[in-house]
């Protein structure tokens, strides 16, 4: 399996396949700090990132927003003092697509740089 951070999100259609359970398990190995969490009956990739203050959290949120625009794939971002929760899922299919794992991996890169 190639490195998720080196891949680009593809345009997703309403009939695009969701990742299977086996595919999810393999892809999660590349993003071990993320969890698959159902919300409103839709699986989402979720991670909470911790920061020392609000402005660091804001800066990170803005960088994730820039990534979302570059990939044309947009997460839910909950910004709070000292933390940011990011949720990736594919709206058109109501679940997880490989794009979500690519975006989560790239979000990790933003956090770690």
Q: Give per-residue pLDDT as tens, 50-73.
A: 999 999 999 999 999 999 999 999
Please tell me the CATH code under which domain 38-113 is placed. 3.30.1360.20
Q: Give per-residue pLDDT as tens, 7-41.
A: 888 877 888 889 999 999 999 999 999 999 999 99
Please report, for the chain, the start and end positions of each structural domain, with discontinuous segments joined by +: 38-113
Distance CA 82, CA 87 (A): 17
Which stretches of 1-113 are assigned E, i.e. beta strand? Answer: 35-39, 42-50, 76-80, 83-88
């Amino acid at each position: 399996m190639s490195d998720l951070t080196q891949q680009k999100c593809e345009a997703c259609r309403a009939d695009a396949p969701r990742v299977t359970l086996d595919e999810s398990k393999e892809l999660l190995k590349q993003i071990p700090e993320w969890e698959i969490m159902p919300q409103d009956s839709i699986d989402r990739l979720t991670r909470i990132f911790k920061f020392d203050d609000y402005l660091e959290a804001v800066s990170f949120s803005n960088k994730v927003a820039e990534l979302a625009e570059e990939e044309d794939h947009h997460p839910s971002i909950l910004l709070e003092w000292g933390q940011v929760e990011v949720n990736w899922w594919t709206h058109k299919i109501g679940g997880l697509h490989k794009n979500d794992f690519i975006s989560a991996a790239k979000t990790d890169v933003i956090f770690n740089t």
